[in-house]
Structure 1
Amino acid sequence: MFGFKETFAHDTWVMPYLRRYKWLLTLVLFLGLMTFLSAGALMFNSGFLISSAARQPFSVIVIYVPVVLARGFGIARPVFRYAERLTSHNWVLRIVSDFRRRLYQAVERTAVTIKQTHQTGDLLSLLADDIDHIENLYLRTVFPMVIGWLLYLVIVIGVGVFSWPVALLLALLLGLIVIVMPLISVAFNGAREFRQKQLQGQFYTQLTDEVLGLTDWVISGRYTDFMAHQRTAIDEIAQLRRRDHYFQWWRGLAVQVIFLAAVVTLLVWSGTAFTTTKTSANWVAAFALALFPVIEPFLEMSQGASEWPVYRQSITRVNQLSESASQSETAAQQTLTAPVTALRVDHVQYTYPGAETPVLKDISLTVKRGEKLALLGPSGTGKSTLLKLLVGDAQPTQGTITLNGVTMSRLQTQRASLFGVLDQQPYLFDTTVMNNVRLGNLQATDEDVKSAIAAVGLEPLITSLPQGYDTLVQEAGNRFSGGERQRLSLARILLQDAPIIILDEPTVSLDPITEKHLLDTVFTVLADKTIIWVTHHLAGIKHVDQVRFLEKGQFDMQGTPVELYRTEARFRRLYELDQGLDATSTD
């Protein structure tokens, strides 16, 4: 099938499970084959029984065996069908559960960089639709096509026992159904199926993005444009679906016409070969009816084949994500047993893949236990990149970053216990205040959580709410203001109790008064922690021990706030501007 070899050349999602569960797969295919063979045998036996009974035999004993066989095949078919469905779905669901776990782990390992390559809607599509497509690959393509091919061989060989010329004619007719029609489906309808899936993915991504900005659409008075934008994609998808249904209707008709020709072939042949005696004439109806039950898998084969391009894209996408996660796998891991004493950055340089100019150039610094460091600089100077390097989300192009002498790449399994992060928009889940804060330490008691909330100054607010600590924060924490969300996240960090805290511009969206109160709270409750604080301006700079200005990938100014105020005119001017003073000094 088109692209089959290329798709599975380095596949780690489909073929390994087929090999691992090959005996269970064999059982599923056997049960599926027996289902249709039982159905065919029931029709074959029924045709013989009806013909025999129509001749009014002198005794029921003459047709007793066909009567018993009719009951036996009638029972066997639903039993095999139930066992096949139970076994196949149980197998597929077990595999899919493992798929989902692997996919979530792959997303987790690339969590920091995945947003650079995937939009929110695209990521949701990957987590939902692509796994469903791989599940359908088994249920709607692999099983029907293999069972269809097996039935094709059984029919041709079975008829060949009686007449090879007729068997060859059936091989030609049924070959059109099991070989030619699937290829035609892939060639003509596969592109349409793929385009439909592609449009749905784009629509999913686009709609997610636009729903997130729905307020701005409404405020700007462009609600009509918003709706028109969606209708365009919906209309195109609907048009493709109509064409798809039209094609399926004609394909189904063609399959049934070809199948009818095969039935007529059997009828003509059996009518010629088994009418020499009255007794042998009973076989005519038997052969003519035996073929009817197998039309179901024959019809499913073409549809399963036409969906292959969709499945192929999904397999490719999850394999690409898995490869990205594998590339980000860390080195052999170690565990720190001693308390953190120093974080050292030693002559670090970093260049983004594909870029020529390094974003960081020969950076060195040491942050000792309990020290507070402020990293300042304009946007695009490498502050966020340096944070990624510090926690191990990226590896330096040159130089090393160590914690207690151990490179960060070897401490990734321990990272959650070493670093706490409070960034610009910490996420609060649509659950209770208690559950959101407890994410910092799942083992924390209710009293521990309440103590953390009290430490960040939110106890009066939370206890004044009707449901108190069981108040739902709503999606993304919309129940609370920006400053309150930051304080809840700070309480989460307190429970986490990591020795090093990263503050990535946590006050950027707050007003000056709220910003001052939050910074005072942060540095008070985290007084015993090592803090690395990224900021754009100097509000609250009195709380830190070191200041580093990062510009054009290098440290431009460094020292204590007092030293820089005394010796650096630029620092003095920025500080006085932040304090609302009349800064008149120049560089």
Structure 2
Amino acid sequence: MQNKWQQDQWVRPNLKRYRKLLCLVFFLGVITILCGVGLMFVAGYLISRTATHPYNILVVYVPVLLTRAFGIGRPAFKYLERINSHNWVLKITSSLRKRLYVTLESSALFLSEQFQSGKLLGFLADDIDHLENFYLRTIFPIVVAYLTGIVLLIGLGIVSWPYALVMFVLFVIILVVIPLLSQSIQGATRVRQRELVQDSYQRLTDATFGIADWMISGRETEFVQTVRKQDEPAGKLNRKANLFEWNRDFVVKLLFGLMIMVTIGWAALALTGHQESANYATAFTLGIFPLMDSFGAVPQAAEEGPMYQESLNRLNDLSRQVKPQPVKPEHLPAPQSLQKIHFENVSFHYPKTDTDIIQQVSFTVPAGQSLAIIGPSGVGKTTLLELLTGSLVPTQGQVWFDQLPAHDLQAVADQWFSVLDQQPFLFNTTIMNNVRIGNEQATDDDVKKAIQEVGLADLVNELPDGLETDVSENGVRLSGGQRQRLALARILLQDNPVVVLDEPTVGLDPITEQQLITTINRVLAGKTMIWVTHHLQGLNHVNQIIFLENGHLKMQGTPAELYRTNERYRNLYRMDLGE
């Protein structure tokens, strides 16, 4: 554990960097608690002293002033502690998020090989928040409670060492024994709770990404069941954790009750021999109560420690990962020289998982031909596309672009691949600028020609500002088919040899869908096209179809061959037509 802490690159450097501010916050935290103790102590003395009818008001004048001082000092120091602690947290948060974003940006493609989308988003959402809470819910309450306990024990030792010794034993039970027991018993439960939450987050994210697939295949009920799969076990763990916390807090309160009884017993023996000393009996007893909030938070803070350790380990592992070096662009062939794409016995699974998402897949797509990938949701179609574009590296086999592995093209991927997906993003600018994103060197005539090719010329001519019309954020002023055609015009300007079409017609009405398919086939003739779709109708134009199921190739061939020889394909085709 100590070695891991010394190698930590996330929390430890920030604690060291802002150590002066952190020490100030700890100091203010201790002073705040001591002011609370002092307020109750002096109030107890004042109540007891005034009950004896002091002969002179000056006898209680000093306790009255101290009551005011502690009463004002407690919220004042609390306010200063909150300001400085929030300042410290904001500094730490800024540093942590900057480091995370830089790490992710420099390793984006590498990370896609290590994490599924849902897990990566859960990773982003949870880990930094956990490290922020590591201070707020673990470091601060534990350190402040320990420092306060040390100060009080020193003071009690001066007054009465036997009483201080008994209080030391009770402090150790509350601040050390119970937190360690709580961590050992509840630590694994907390980690498991977090795993279930992350799994639910991953399921929800991945299912939402493919929600159109679920709806098209009529599996809405299965979608809900998939997303809510971990609800019941998570609920059981929550109930178990809540029951343990209730019992633990009850035991802590019993120990504070014992602490009060000990104080009363000690006061009865040591402070009742003289009237002046008897006035302090109430003071010592009432001084115990402010410690409940401070000391009572320590077991909960220790219990959550393993959860923060998991986040810290994962972030440090991420920093230590060795990123693969991409091939230099000057050593790569020209995109126009592509002869074929070949999947050779390709299998893939994410690290720390045993199940292959893709299993022993092989097929070839000659340059200039088209391939349609079909199959139900969650069978690996998107993973196959990521392997094709080199975003993922096969765990077995290889994806070849002629004699070159697909992953080696990452440095020049923008020159090889164009992508048209379900929801192409349009920026809040003009039609001209949105299309020119495909090729910033394109002339106005090139843009106009591309728009003409995709069938948007009439629409543009009808607009008051023509090509200078603002489409608003994400093209909200355009219909779904018009947005897809605008994105298609970008692809024409890019003029890349490989075009990936990931469900581009989802959400369109049948007439618009057929028109878009016709346009795509016309304007992209001669390109190597890879289609991912659920619809079998409209695929008569493709050169080859493969059907994925549970990561395996179940069908492969031309549309005519499959319809003639494969009964399952014929049934799927008829179902797609609604027959």
* Residue equivalent to 2:279: 282
CA distance in 2, matches of 1:187, 1:465: 69
> Could you tell me which of 100, 109, 132 is aligned with 1:103?
100
Paired residues of 2:428 and 2:474 also in contact (CA < 8 A) = yes
Report the CA distance shift for 1:93/1:315 in structure 2 as closer, same or farther (over 3 A). Answer: same
* Residue equivalent to 1:551: none
Paired residues of 1:28 and 1:87 also in contact (CA < 8 A) = yes
Report the CA distance shift for 1:273/1:329 in structure 2 as closer, same or farther (over 3 A). Answer: farther
Amino acid of the residue matched to residue 419 of structure 2? Answer: D
Are 1:136 and 2:137 matched, yes or no?
no
Are 1:480 and 2:477 matched, yes or no?
no
Taking the TM superposition and a 5 Å limit, the aligned residue runs for 1:242-253 are 242-253=239-250
Are 1:422 and 2:423 matched, yes or no?
no
Q: Offset of 1:448 from its aligned partner?
A: 12
Paired residues of 2:41 and 2:286 also in contact (CA < 8 A) = yes
Taking the TM superposition and a 5 Å limit, the aligned residue runs for 1:138-287 are 138-217=135-214, 220=217, 222-287=219-284
> Could you tell me which of 16, 20, 39 is aligned with 2:17?
20
Paired residues, what number?
494
Q: Offset of 1:215 from its aligned partner?
A: 4.8
> Could you tell me which of 495, 500, 507 is aligned with 1:505?
500
Q: Which moved more, 1:104-113 or 1:500-509?
A: 500-509
Q: Offset of 1:301 from its aligned partner?
A: 0.9
Report the CA distance shift for 1:122/1:491 in structure 2 as closer, same or farther (over 3 A). Answer: same
Q: Scaled by the length of structure 2, what TM-score is found?
A: 0.69
Q: Offset of 1:63 from its aligned partner?
A: 1.0
CA distance in 2, matches of 1:40, 1:514: 75
Amino acid of the residue matched to residue 97 of structure 1? Answer: S
SS in 1 for 2:424: coil
CA distance in 2, matches of 1:306, 1:198: 16
Paired residues of 1:507 and 1:515 also in contact (CA < 8 A) = no
Q: Offset of 1:115 from its aligned partner?
A: 3.4
SS in 2 for 1:422: strand
Tell me the alpha carbon deviations over residues 145-204 of structure 1, each in whole angstroms, 9 at most, x when there is no partner: 111111121122111112222222111111011101111111111111111111111111
CA distance in 1, matches of 2:114, 2:436: 27
Are 1:124 and 2:125 matched, yes or no?
no
Tell me the alpha carbon deviations over residues 454-474 of structure 1, each in whole angstroms, 9 at most, x when there is no partner: 476545446768996335548
CA distance in 2, matches of 1:432, 1:270: 75
SS in 2 for 1:55: coil
Report the CA distance shift for 1:492/1:517 in structure 2 as closer, same or farther (over 3 A). Answer: closer
Paired residues of 2:485 and 2:516 also in contact (CA < 8 A) = no
SS in 1 for 2:480: coil
CA distance in 1, matches of 2:69, 2:15: 33
Structure 2 unaligned spans of 5+: 338-343, 352-359, 361-366, 374-380, 392-398, 506-512, 532-538, 544-557, 562-579
CA distance in 2, matches of 1:493, 1:158: 77
* Residue equivalent to 2:569: none
> Could you tell me which of 296, 313, 316 is aligned with 2:313?
316
* Residue equivalent to 1:112: 109
Paired residues of 2:369 and 2:542 also in contact (CA < 8 A) = no
Q: Offset of 1:227 from its aligned partner?
A: 4.0
Report the CA distance shift for 1:219/1:257 in structure 2 as closer, same or farther (over 3 A). Answer: same
Paired residues of 1:422 and 1:489 also in contact (CA < 8 A) = no
> Could you tell me which of 285, 295, 302 is aligned with 2:292?
295
Paired residues of 2:422 and 2:503 also in contact (CA < 8 A) = no
Q: Scaled by the length of structure 1, what TM-score is found?
A: 0.68
SS in 2 for 1:260: helix
Identity %: 33
Tell me the alpha carbon deviations over residues 271-308 of structure 1, each in whole angstroms, 9 at most, x when there is no partner: 32222211121111111111211211211111111112
CA distance in 2, matches of 1:329, 1:43: 65
* Residue equivalent to 1:41: 38
Amino acid of the residue matched to residue 16 of structure 1? Answer: P
SS in 2 for 1:99: helix
Paired residues of 1:267 and 1:284 also in contact (CA < 8 A) = yes
Report the CA distance shift for 1:8/1:439 in structure 2 as closer, same or farther (over 3 A). Answer: farther
* Residue equivalent to 1:86: 83
SS in 2 for 1:280: helix
CA distance in 2, matches of 1:452, 1:23: 64
Amino acid of the residue matched to residue 204 of structure 2? Answer: L
Amino acid of the residue matched to residue 503 of structure 1? Answer: V
* Residue equivalent to 1:581: none
CA distance in 2, matches of 1:310, 1:68: 46
Amino acid of the residue matched to residue 118 of structure 1? Answer: F
CA distance in 2, matches of 1:306, 1:449: 64
CA distance in 1, matches of 2:159, 2:243: 40
CA distance in 2, matches of 1:501, 1:170: 77
CA distance in 2, matches of 1:146, 1:471: 53
Paired residues of 1:520 and 1:540 also in contact (CA < 8 A) = no
SS in 2 for 1:136: helix
Amino acid of the residue matched to residue 161 of structure 2? Answer: W
Structure 1 unaligned spans of 5+: 360-372, 390-395, 402-407, 524-530, 542-573, 578-587
Q: Which moved more, 1:135-144 or 1:466-475?
A: 466-475
Q: Offset of 1:423 from its aligned partner?
A: 2.1
CA distance in 2, matches of 1:517, 1:68: 87
Paired residues of 2:371 and 2:530 also in contact (CA < 8 A) = yes
Q: Offset of 1:378 from its aligned partner?
A: 11
Paired residues of 1:434 and 1:449 also in contact (CA < 8 A) = no
Paired residues of 1:450 and 1:459 also in contact (CA < 8 A) = no
Paired residues of 1:383 and 1:534 also in contact (CA < 8 A) = no
Report the CA distance shift for 1:213/1:464 in structure 2 as closer, same or farther (over 3 A). Answer: farther
Paired residues of 2:439 and 2:490 also in contact (CA < 8 A) = no
Report the CA distance shift for 1:209/1:180 in structure 2 as closer, same or farther (over 3 A). Answer: same
Report the CA distance shift for 1:179/1:199 in structure 2 as closer, same or farther (over 3 A). Answer: same
Paired residues of 1:144 and 1:297 also in contact (CA < 8 A) = yes
Report the CA distance shift for 1:343/1:442 in structure 2 as closer, same or farther (over 3 A). Answer: closer
Q: Offset of 1:134 from its aligned partner?
A: 1.2
CA distance in 2, matches of 1:64, 1:127: 58
CA distance in 2, matches of 1:219, 1:388: 28
